[in-house]
Amino acid sequence: MRGRPDRDPGTAPRRIVLIGPMAAGKSTIGSRLAAALGLTVVDTDQEFERRHGPISGVFASLGENFFREAEARIVAKALTREGVVVSLGGGAVLDAGTQQLLADEFVVYLETDAETVRPFITRDRRRPLLAENPVEAWERVYDRRRSTYERLATVTVDVTRASSRRPEAVVERIRALLDDDAAAQRGAGAETDQQTRATSRPQ
Ligand code: S3P
């Protein structure tokens, strides 16, 4: 299963990575989840802005390609750190190298819809891709990326308005999924132990 290939049985993932469309709440959930688990949060958009300044200005002056290349490097570096929750910008998953790296990560996809994010994007000056007709632009971009999010996800968490999208509730759901994952890992470990005992038993 995705995000679980080279872990020792029963151990927690080295990192938790949040993906999903713009305004799904990745930054908020990332910092709340990190606080709840005693981990450090790395927000790749914030890292980018620390180094290069506001994303919208960089899109305007240096172009989206510059942003994407820098973003891919920041993501790759973040994915070398241990004990972190990494929140990715919504488009970071488009990069082929990032997709490869995510195959080995515990990836939480925050799934949402236009009705839920509408209040957060209608007067958004921070997101260059939503500068005009933000709701339609958001839907168009999400439609194009949805299958990529689904493919990369280890687990999917519904953060639509219809579900309980309070940050505390979302964090609790992610913690429960992590517990399930740890239990599944222990189960897999026990199976491997049994197989080892079976094959090493004296004939
Ligand atoms: C983008 C999402 C933004 C930011 C940039 C581009 C995208 O991050 O990285 O504006 O392509 O979806 P959020 O997902 O945090 O809004």
How does the average pLDDT of the chain come out, rounded?
90
Q: How does pLDDT run across 45-87, given as a tens digit for each residue?
A: 999 999 999 999 999 999 999 999 999 999 999 999 999 999 9
Q: How does pLDDT run across 120-145, given as a tens digit for each residue?
A: 999 888 899 999 999 999 999 999 99
22 contacts: CB under 8 Å, gap ≥ 6: 90, 117, 121, 127, 129, 130, 138, 141
* Residue closest by Cα to atom 8 of ligand 1: 89
CA–centroid distance for 173 within its chain = 15
Q: Please tell me the distance from the alpha carbon of residue 58 to that of residue 66, in angstroms, as a whole number.
A: 8
* pLDDT, position 196: 54
pTM greater than the 0.85 cutoff = yes
* pLDDT, position 203: 36
Of ligand 1's atoms, which has the minimum distance to the CA of residue 71?
9
Residues within a 6 A CB radius of ligand 1: 22-23, 26, 45, 55, 89-91, 127-129
More confident position, 7 or 100: 100
* Banded pLDDT at 11 (limits 50, 70, 90): low
Whole-number Å distance, alpha carbon 28 to ligand 1 midpoint, is 14
Q: Please tell me the distance from the alpha carbon of residue 98 to that of residue 121, in angstroms, as a whole number.
A: 26
Residues 154 and 1 sit within 8 Å (Cβ to Cβ): yes
* pLDDT, position 168: 93
* Residue closest by Cα to atom 12 of ligand 1: 90
